[in-house]
């Protein structure tokens, strides 16, 4: 097809017009629209400033959310600690009540001096937390019975049971009482002792032996039990008169 001179001129004019429009856009940062349409300014700096602002807002929201979760966790931990303290306080009040209700039987007044005094370890007499005499305990009591039989006059045989401080006061008092009675029953079964006057007392864990000050609760449980061994004992005092 042969292009006429008029057509060539028209195309040339369109090309020149397009070039002028592109040049105007690059110089003014404005979008050139056809006649009659709105011209919208292009503010690239404004758009660029909006993006960091949105990112900063998102970061702040994330930070607030994380802080809120951390505060919730701290609050839960605080509630757990408060519950633990309340239980400790309840246990402490219960121990105070037990001590208030436990009153050891007072010893009777003795008119004669102590002729024999024995301090027998609970570990020799009994198994741990038990009140049944062991064989080794019976051997010790047999020797004691022989010494008592040699006395001229016996007023009272006093037997006092002791435990360590571990456990509840009421349980310790009961265990110490059972052990003292077990010793009494065995001594009474020996010849020449069954008619003597026996006095049984229990002190529970209220009176330490004086040899366990270094035993602290922070020790391992088994080590603490072993350390408190001197406190678990049975004291025997024989009151009477000797002609010699």
Q: Indicate which CATH number applies to the domain containing 226.
A: 3.30.1330.60
Quote the pLDDT of residue 229. 96
* Strand order through the sheet with 233-241: 114-121, 233-241, 153-162, 198-202
Do 209 and 136 belong together in one domain? yes
Do 135 and 189 belong together in one domain? yes
Do 66 and 91 belong together in one domain? yes
Quote the pLDDT of residue 168. 93
Confirm whether 10 is domain-assigned. no
Please, what are the averages of pLDDT over each run of 10 residues along the chain (244 residues)? 56 59 52 50 54 64 73 81 79 62 59 91 95 96 93 92 95 96 93 87 95 95 96 96 68
Do 194 and 122 belong together in one domain? yes
Quote the pLDDT of residue 22. 54
Confirm whether 4 is domain-assigned. no
Do 180 and 208 belong together in one domain? yes
Which of 101, 132, 166 corresponds to the end of one domain?
A: 101
Neighbours of 198 (CB within 10 A): 17
Do 132 and 168 belong together in one domain? yes
Confirm whether 18 is domain-assigned. no
Quote the pLDDT of residue 146. 92
Q: How far is CA 163 from CA 11, 79, 137, 170, 232, in A?
A: 118, 37, 16, 11, 4
Do 64 and 161 belong together in one domain? no
For helices 169-188 and 44-101, give the axis angle rounded to 10 degrees. 30
Do 74 and 130 belong together in one domain? no
Quote the pLDDT of residue 241. 82
Confirm whether 175 is domain-assigned. yes
Confirm whether 197 is domain-assigned. yes
Confirm whether 30 is domain-assigned. no
Quote the pLDDT of residue 19. 56
What beta strand segments (E) does 3-152 contain? 114-121
For helices 135-149 and 169-188, give the axis angle rounded to 10 degrees. 60
Confirm whether 145 is domain-assigned. yes
DSSP three-state, residue 202? strand
Do 79 and 176 belong together in one domain? no
Domain limits for position 53: 44-101
Do 88 and 137 belong together in one domain? no
Record the pTM. 0.57
Quote the pLDDT of residue 207. 95
Quote the pLDDT of residue 112. 83
Quote the pLDDT of residue 21. 60
Do 93 and 162 belong together in one domain? no
Q: What domain count does the chain have?
A: 2
Do 123 and 234 belong together in one domain? yes
Confirm whether 198 is domain-assigned. yes
């Amino acid at each position: 097809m042969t292009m006429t001179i008029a057509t060539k001129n028209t195309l040339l004019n369109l090309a020149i017009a397009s070039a002028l429009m592109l040049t105007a856009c690059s110089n003014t940062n404005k979008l050139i629209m056809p006649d009659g349409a709105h011209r919208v300014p292009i503010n690239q700096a404004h758009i660029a400033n909006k993006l960091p602002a949105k990112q900063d807002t998102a970061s702040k929201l994330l930070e607030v959310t994380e802080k809120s979760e951390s505060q919730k966790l701290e609050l839960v931990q605080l509630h757990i600690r408060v519950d633990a303290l309340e239980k400790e306080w309840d246990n402490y009040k219960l121990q105070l009540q037990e001590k208030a209700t436990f009153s050891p039987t007072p010893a009777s007044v003795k008119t004669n001096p102590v002729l024999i005094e024995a301090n027998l370890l609970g570990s020799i007499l009994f198994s741990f937390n038990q009140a049944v005499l062991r064989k080794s305990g019976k051997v010790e009591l047999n020797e004691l019975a022989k010494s008592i039989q040699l006395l001229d006059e016996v007023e009272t045989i006093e037997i006092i049971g002791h435990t360590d401080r571990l456990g509840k006061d009421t349980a310790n008092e009961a265990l110490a009482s059972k052990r003292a009675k077990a010793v009494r029953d065995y001594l009474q079964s020996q010849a020449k002792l069954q008619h003597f006057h026996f006095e049984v007392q229990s002190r529970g864990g209220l009176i330490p032996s004086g040899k366990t000050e270094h035993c602290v609760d922070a020790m391992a449980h088994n080590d603490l039990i072993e350390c408190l061994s001197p406190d678990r004992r049975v004291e025997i005092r024989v009151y009477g008169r000797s002609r010699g």
